[in-house]
Chain A
Amino acid sequence: MTGPMTTTAVRRTETAVAEAAPAKPPRRGRRLGWERRRAAVLMVAPAVILLTWWIGIPTIASLVLAFTHYDVLAGTISWAGLGNFRDIFADPIWNRSIWHTVVYTFFTVPVAMAIAVAIAVLLNSKLRGRAWYRAAYFLPHITATVAIALVWMWMFEPNIGLFNAVLGQVGIQGPAWLSDPAWAMPAVIVVSVWKGIGLKMLIYLAALQSIPPELYEAADVDGATPRRKFFAITLPLLRPATFFVFIVSLIDSFQVFEQVYVLTPDGGPANATTVMTLEIYRSAFGKFDMSRACAQSMVLFVFLLVLTVISRRLTGKDSDAEL
């Protein structure tokens, strides 16, 4: 060192060094001591073990079994190649179950999200008794699906059910709902939308409350209408929440089982409500055909993977950082 440097000179030097050779991130081992790394491993280990045991191994097992003939009764296994996949795509019921799942998802995801945003905006305003309303809307989410489905079954009952009784009052003979192929799927969708609103609404409510009020105050000064404020401020700032709700709802909808199974245990009249998960269940536990069920599960898995990737590409890039 030849002599003391000024602060400016030091900064210049540091900048020059930085520009000349970008600093390497400190090695992990140096940054974290062994003790800290061990603590980190110990903290992460339970989650890793559980994920491996409950998700990793079953996923690998399903993938392997999808390419085999696994006879669960005899305990024998033989290679089948793509045979199971050829079989399932030649089965009109499986193909219909894919279509039903898509229809179900179309109505339970975007429609339910739109309703949830509307309710969340309403419940974010200064409404009398809004805490009560918030609880009321959230209640279906924490109630057991089976209990909910049973209550709705009573309401859909064609002879003494609530819906047909109300329709009867205005001179309309209601349908047989769950026994009518035209109405069974709409009935299941109504129950699912109703049950799913609570959680979506809660996420939107939290997102709404994180929007700085100054933005609305500035918009007020500029004379913006409530409609303009909603589309120019609220909706764009809800984008991270929308992405999250969309992905979670999409996956949830593709995996729907409980309400379909309880409301229409045999997949509805003439398979009108047979969705992919129900068909997987029937293959595995109704027909003892585990390999077929595994092949169907793999198709469902690929669907979810592709949808998630597309969703991320469409809406996720900007949102990831904000989530």
Chain B
Amino acid sequence: MDRQPAGSTRRQFGQRAGLAMLGLVAVGCGGPAPAKPGQSDKVTGEIRMITPIFEGSDGAKVLSGLMADFTKQYPDVKIVPDYTTYAKLNEKLTTSLASGRPYDVMLMGVGWIPPFAAKGVLADLGESESALTSLYSERVVAPGVYDGKVYARPIMLDTRYGYYRKDLFKQAGLDPEKPPTTFAEIRDYARKLTVRDGSGKLTRAGIDILGIDLRQGFETLMWAAGGDLFTPDGKVAFNSPKAVSALQLMTDIIRTDKSEDFGFTEPGAATGVPIVQGRAAMMLGHNNTWQEFEQNAPNLVKDGQVGFFVVTGERPALFQGGTIGAVSAKSKQQAAAKEWVKYLASAQPSLRANQQRGNVPALKSLVSSEYVQKNPAVQFAMKNLDHAYSEGGVPAWLQIRGDFKAAIESALLGKTTPQQALDDLAKKAEAAIASGK
């Protein structure tokens, strides 16, 4: 006997299917829920951690060692790391939050805390800011604090400042012990250090300003020019005359002085770091560029041919980022997660992590460590932390920061003036801040 579904049954099925779909959509939109009282305060359970700083086999080896040490102390805790890079961190965090299952522990960058804390994603660590500043550099404690509460502990710092090659200074008739101390000197020295072949092809950049993230390079110069990203009350300030003068300096180096060609280098290029290879005489670099020198030009290190300088305009300034550890407000294992973050930010674990990445320890007590004593780039950074500035500061920072690169590029390519580029960017930033997204 044939059983034909009745029309009404079909309709009912359609209605049910539609409702089920809408239900699933609603579930998908769930997002993180606020922390529930009574979540486990026992140091037990499985912790999922997202980390952008232990990627690669060397990093994974260091983290495995740290996890093994931690679980000796807390045998009932299991840590499940998810390795990523800073380039992919946004993606992973977004999908975990959208799925309603955020990571228990999130290692993230300086500048990330206000957007996440303002939206209730992060758990208050219950720490005292003043207590932390007695242990860590104040510069890296502040980015973990939002609205008076501590949401993250510092694990490592990373800085950007000037590198120069003393041997190439000598070749160009410059005093190898006197790096540039003003914007005018930066331009002047760069012109003298630039080398082109008979056909006009650039063979050595006087200064490489493209070898690091363009936003971070611009910010370093902007702070040195006396500018800032935002006013203390959260308004856009990166199109102020001082900030514009920083972008003008970058544009002059490329377009007027031709001390570097756009596209000559880029961050993380597979072809290597130009200053290490002698294809650039100065650069705005990361403190871990020193590792590149040690690995690929040990003779320069041995002969003391690598020098550093703090970029100085109206004031000396270096860019300071860092990696900080936060705990999800939705984590069911908050006690274990907080202990794990505390452990990662303590002396030995943080030293091992910093050593592996060539970074700057955040703990004051590590200044005397053998690693710091043997690494002049890290020592230089630590010595100049008083001149350090960090990006971020407004909850909309993550919406804003991605637009910097294209704006800076348009000025460097002569498509817009520095003022136009930053004004256009400011309009977008103001809209993002106003929308409260």
Interface residues in chain A, defined as those with a beta carbon under 8 Å from any beta carbon in chain B: 29-30, 33-34, 52, 56-57, 60-61, 64-65, 69-77, 93, 153-154, 157-160, 173, 176-181, 265-267, 269-271, 282, 284-290
Q: How far is the CA of A160 from the CA of B272 in the complex (A)?
A: 11
Interchain nearest-CB distance for B203 vs A (Å): 9
Residue numbers in B under 8 Å from A73 (CB-CB): 31-32, 97, 115-116, 119, 121
Q: Which chain B residues border A158 with CB–CB below 8 Å?
A: 263-264
- A271, B263: Cβ atoms closer than 8 Å: no
- Contact (Cβ within 8 A) A76 B31: yes
**Restricting to B320-360, which residues have a CB under 8 Å from any CB of A?**
none
Give the top 8 A-B pairs by smallest Cβ distance, nearest first. A75-B31, A179-B263, A176-B263, A73-B119, A74-B119, A29-B2, A270-B409, A270-B410
Say if the beta carbon of B369 comes within 8 Å of chain A: no
Among A61, A65, A160, A178, the most chain B Cβ lie within 10 Å of the Cβ of A61
Contact residues in A for B94 (Cβ distance below 8 Å): 72, 284-285, 288, 290
B131 proximal to A (CB < 8 A): no
Partner of A74, one of B3, B120, B271: B120
Determine if B200 is an interface residue (Cβ-Cβ < 8 Å): yes
Beyond the given pairs A70-B29, A285-B91, A285-B94, 12 more chain A to chain B contacts, judged by CB atoms under 8 angstroms and listed by A's residue number, are A61-B25, A61-B28, A75-B31, A75-B33, A159-B271, A176-B263, A179-B262, A179-B263, A267-B406, A269-B409, A270-B413, A286-B90
B119 touches A57 (CB 8 A): no
In the complex the two chains form, is B262's CB within 8 Å of A71's CB? no
Q: For chain B, what secondary structure do more than half of its interface residues adopt (helix, strand, loop), or is it mixed?
A: loop
A288-B264 CB under 8 A given contacts A76-B31, A153-B270: no
Flag whether B234 is at the interface (Cβ < 8 A): no
5 contacts between A and B (CB under 8 A): A52-B21, A73-B121, A74-B31, A160-B271, A269-B413
Query: Looking across the interface, which residue of chain B has its beta carbon closest to that of A150?
Result: B270
On whether the beta carbons of B90 and A57 are closer than 8 Å, the reply is no
Complex: A60 Cα to B199 Cα, angstroms:
59
* Distance, CA A232 to CA B30, complexed state (A): 60
Whole-angstrom distance between the alpha carbons of A179 and B263 in the complex? 5
Segment 65-106 of B: residues with Cβ below 8 Å from A: 87, 90-91, 94, 97-98, 100
Q: How large is the interface on B (under 10, 10 to 19, 20 to 34, 35 or more residues)?
A: 35 or more
Closest to B424 in A: A92
Residue pair A287, B398 in contact (C-beta under 8 Å): yes
| Alpha-carbon distance between A178 and B28 when the two chains are bound, in angstroms | 38
Please state if A75 and B97 are interface contacts (CB–CB under 8 Å): yes
> In the complex the two chains form, is A30's CB within 8 Å of B270's CB?
no
A292 to chain B, nearest CB (A): 9
Inter-chain contact B415/A288, CB cutoff 8 Å: no
Task: Determine the distance from Cα of A160 to Cα of B269 in the docked complex, in whole angstroms.
Answer: 12
Q: Which residues of A contact B410 (CB under 8 A)?
A: 270
B261: A residues at CB distance < 8 A: 176
Q: Are the CB atoms of B262 and A269 closer together than 8 Å? A: yes
Interface string of B231-275 (1 = CB under 8 A from A): 000000000000000000000000000000111101001110000
Chain B residues 289 to 309 lying within 8 A of chain A, measured CB to CB, are none
Indicate which residue in A33, A75, A176, A269 contacts B2 across the interface (CB closer than 8 Å). A33
Distance in angstroms from B247 CB to nearest chain A CB is 14
Q: Are A57 and B21 in contact (CB under 8 A)?
A: yes
A266 touches B406 (CB 8 A): yes
A221–B414 Cα distance when bound, in Å, is 64
Query: Which among B25, B32, B33 has the highest number of chain A CB atoms within 10 Å?
Result: B25
A176 and B264 contact, CB distance less than 8 A: yes
The answer on a CB contact under 8 Å between A60 and B25 is yes
Measured CA separation A159–B279 after assembly (Å) = 10
A9–B262 CA distance with the chains assembled, in angstroms: 90
Contact present for B263 and A57 (CB under 8 Å): no
Determine if A270 and B406 form an interchain contact, defined as CB atoms under 8 angstroms apart. yes
Partner of A75, one of B24, B32, B116, B406: B32
Contact, CB under 8 Å: B31 / A271: no
Instruction: Give the Cβ gap from A290 to chain B, nearest Cβ, in Å.
Output: 7
The answer to whether residues A159 and B264 also contact, given A56-B21, A77-B29 and a CB cut-off of 8 A, is yes
Contact B1 A34 (CB under 8 A): yes
Q: In the docked arrangement, what's the CA distance between A173 and B91, Å?
A: 39
A181: B residues at CB distance < 8 A:
413, 415
Q: Which of A71, A74, A157, A271 has the most CB of B within 10 A?
A: A74
Distance from B212 Cβ to chain A, minimum over Cβ atoms (Å): 14
Q: Which of B411-425 contact A (CB under 8 A)?
A: 413, 415
B128 is an interface residue with CB less than 8 A from chain A: no
B374 at the interface (CB under 8 A from A): no
Partner of A72, one of B97, B266, B269, B402: B97
CB distance from A299 to the nearest CB of B (A): 19
**Across the interface, do B413 and A154 meet the contact criterion of CB distance under 8 Å?**
no
Chain B positions within 8 Å of A76 at CB level: 31
- The interface residues of chain A lying within 8 Å CB-to-CB of B1 are 34
B60 vs chain A, min Cβ distance (A)? 21
Q: Using Cβ atoms and an 8 Å threshold, which residues of chain A touch B399?
A: 287-289
Measured CB to CB, the nearest residue on chain A to B416 is: A270
B201 on interface, CB distance cutoff 8 Å: yes
- A72 contacts B270, CB within 8 Å? no
Task: Render B2-16 as a binary contact track against A, CB cut-off 8 A, 1 for contact.
Answer: 111000000000000
Using CB atoms, name the residue of chain B closest to A285. B91
